[in-house]
Amino acid sequence: MALYLQEKETDSQWPQPIEGMYQLLGGGEASALAPKLPHLGLADILFMTAVMCLPKERRPWGIATWMADVFLLSRPALYALTERTRERLLLPAVQAVGSLPDRERGKQIIVSPERVARTVLTAAFPGKMALRPIQQMLAEALDDSHSIGWLSELMTEAGQRAGAVLAEIDTSPLGTVIAARDETFFNEQPLLLVIDPVSTVILQAVVTPDRQAETWGAVLLMTQDRGVTLGGLVEDMARMYPASQQEAGLNVDVQKDIWHIQRDGVQRQTDLERDAIQATRQVIHLEEKLLKQWDSAFFEQKYIPAVAKEEGLYAQHAAFTTWFGHLCDALEVVDMRSGEIRDRTINGWLLEQCLTALEQIDHERVASWVRSLRRCQTELLTYLDWLDAALTAYRQELAQSLPIDQAQTQFLRSVARVWRLQQALVSGHNHLRNATQQAQQALQLALAECPILTQLAQRLMTLLDGACRTSSLIENVNGLLKQFLHNRRSFASAETLQTYLNLFTLWHNMRIYQRGKRRDTSPYQMAGIHTASDDWLELLGYPAA
C-alpha cells in the first residue's frame, strides 16, 4: 500500500503530485451535487471523487483524513459525497445531472399493507419514533391514516414474529464464546442481556420479574439452548452472578469488568482531592482569623491540627494517585510503549503490590473500594489466561513464517503496539493520534510485500480484541436500547415490552454498520450466522414491494 506523507498543510511545495493538482482547484461556485456545502466547487468534488474511487489497496494511506481536513468535511460526509457523485456520473450521458431516469418519472408508489408495515417498523428501528409521530408521518408521506391502536397491534404482532425468528436462529457457528452480560431497567422492569463482544451479536435479551441468581441461571441456559457454548463470562461485581453459575450448572472462568473499577478509582481520587482542597480552605480561614488577632491557644489547638490534617490529606491523595496509576497499568493487555503483550505472573505481582499499598491509605471510601477489589482479585486478570491460550496455536503458525525468535518478538510487539494505540484513540486519547499514525505507517511498510504476515497481523489484532476485560460493549448496547425506550412512556405488560425487545434484538443483529472496523457487515454476518434473508423485515413477513 502506498503511503501518503505530508510535512505541513500550508507548504507551497507539495511533496506528492496529487497535492499539486489540489493547488489548481481554487474552489469555485457551489455545485448542485453538494448544495449544503457552498464552499465546495465542482472541481473540488470531482477531485475528491477521483481519489476516493481508487481501489483501497492503491489509495495513498491517510489521504481520506487529509481531504476531510482541508475541505472541511467529516469522513462520513466525504464517503457520502463520493457515493452520491458516483451515482450521478453513472447515469446515462443524455440525462441531466439531478433529473430522474425516464423509467422513474411519473412512477407511483403503491401503498400496500406490506409497505405500510415496513414503513412503520423502519420508523421505529432505526428511526426511534414513537407511535404518534409515526402516525403523522404516514399521513404526510403515504396519505395513509391508521389509529394508534392499529399501530400498537402491528408492533406487537411484529415483535411476536421476531421472537419466533430469534428462537429459530442457530448461533452454533459462534462456537465457544466469552460472553458479556449485564442488566438494564425500564420503569423498574429488569432487562437481562447476554452479548458476544467480538461480533456484537445479542445472544439473549429477556424481560424478567427480577435479576436474582435463579433468573440469571435460566437466562444462561436459554442462551446455550440456541447453539452457542459459553466459555467465559465478562461481568461487573454484582453479588448474584457467582450463584447464577451454580444455578445453571456452569463452571466457566469469569473476568470482572475493569472499566467500572477504573471509573470508581477516578471517583475516589476526586474525593481525596476535594477533601484536601476543603482542608486548605479551612486553613486559610483560620489564618485570616489569626491575622486579625493573634491567639496562641487558638494557634496551638485549632491551626496546627488543621495544617496537619491538610498535609495528611494531600499525602493521601499523592499516594493514591501514584498507586492507582500502577493499578491501571497492572490491568493492561499490551504495554503502550514497547508493544509487549503482558504476562499474567508479572501483572499479578504488580496488582498485589498496588492493593497492598492502597490498603495503607486511611480513608473510608478508599478502604471500601480496595475491599471490593480484594474480593474479586483472582478474577481481574482472567483475560490474560484467555489470551495466552489463544496465542499458543498462533505462535506455532507464526513460527512457520518467521522461524527466528527475535523476528517473532519484534512482529508481535509491532502489531500489538498498533492495536493498543488504536484502542487509546477509540477511548478519546487524541494526543496519541500522531504516534498511532507513525506506528501504523511503520507496520504497513514492514508488511507491504508479505501477504501472509499481513493476514497474521490481522489475526493477532482479532485475538487481542477477543481478550475481553470490560463489559463496555454491552454497556454501549444498553445505551442504544435506552435511546429507543426513551420515547416509550410505558408498555401494557411485560409481554409487550418483550415483543419490543425482540424487535430491537433482531434489528440490531441484522443491521449493517456504517462506519468503523465493522463497516459494511452486520453482527450476524461477522458471526457467520446465516439467515433466510439479509432483510430483517422480510424475515418478519413484510417483503419489499
Residue 482 belongs to a domain with what CATH number? 3.30.420
Is residue 30, in this structure, part of any structural domain at all? yes
Any domain includes 241: no
Q: What angle, 0 to 180 degrees and rounded to 10, lies between the N-to-C axes of helices 113-124 and 131-141?
A: 130
* Domain end residue (candidates: 434, 466, 498): 466
pLDDT band at 7 (very low <50, low <70, confident <90, very high): very low
Residue 366 lies in a domain: yes
Give dist(CA 273, CA 78) in Å, integer.
45
Q: Is residue 371 located within the same domain as residue 287?
A: yes
pLDDT (0 to 100) of residue 200: 93
Q: Are residues 264 and 371 in the same domain?
A: yes
Residue ending a domain, among 427, 450, 466, is 466
Strands 229-235 and 176-186: parallel
Shared domain check, 370 and 331: yes
pLDDT digits (tens, 9 = 90+) for 75-94: 888 888 888 888 887 754 43
Q: Fill in the amino acid letter for 170.
A: D
The cell numbers describing 482, all together, are 435506552
Q: Give domain status of residue 136, yes or no.
A: no
Same structural domain, 28 and 63: yes
Q: Is the pLDDT of residue 6 over 50?
A: no
Looking at the fold, whether 395 and 433 belong to one and the same domain comes out as: yes
Q: What is the mean pLDDT of residues 314-319?
A: 96
Count the domains in the chain: 4
pLDDT in tens, 210-255: 999 999 999 999 999 999 999 999 999 988 999 999 999 999 999 9
Does 277 share its domain with 315?
yes
Band of the pLDDT at 122, cuts 50, 70, 90?
Answer: very high
Query: Is position 76 within any domain?
Result: yes
Co-location of 274 and 357 in the same domain: yes
Same domain, 306 and 289: yes
β-sheet bridge partners, residue 253: 232
344 and 396, same domain (yes or no): no
Whole-angstrom distance, CA of residue 5 vs CA of residue 221: 54
Question: What is the pLDDT, as a whole number, of residue 15?
Answer: 53
Question: Is the pLDDT assigned to residue 35 strictly greater than 50?
Answer: yes
CA dihedral 468, 472, 478, 482 (to 10 degrees): -170
Q: Domain span at residue 516? A: 166-226+473-539
Would you state the pLDDT for residue 8? 40
Q: Computed over its alpha carbons, how large is the radius of gyration of the chain?
A: 29
491 shares a domain with 408:
no
How far is the C-alpha of 35 from the C-alpha of 42, rounded, in Å? Answer: 11
* Separation of alpha carbons 362 and 470, rounded Å: 29
Question: How many angstroms separate the CA atoms of 30 and 457, rounded?
Answer: 44
pLDDT digits (tens, 9 = 90+) for 524-533: 999 999 999 9
| Boundary residue ending a domain (102, 122, 139) | 102
Share of residues in the chain with pLDDT > 90 (%) = 68
pLDDT of amino acid 296? 93
Based on the fold, state whether residues 453 and 477 are members of the same structural domain. Answer: no
Answer whether residue 473 shows pLDDT above 50: yes
**Per-residue confidence band for 23, with pLDDT thresholds at 50, 70 and 90:** low
Q: Based on the domain organization, do 208 and 313 belong to the same domain? A: no
**121 domain-assigned:** no
pLDDT of residue 27: 61
Q: What angle do CA 345, 260, 235 make, to 5 degrees?
A: 75
534 is a domain residue? yes
Burial of 440 per CB tally in 10 Å (0-12, 13-18, 19+): middle
Q: Above pLDDT 70, what percent of the chain? A: 91
- pTM equals 0.76
- pLDDT > 60? residue 169: yes
Considering the domain boundaries, does residue 453 fall inside one?
yes
Note the pLDDT tens digit of each residue in 283-309: 999 999 999 999 999 999 999 999 999
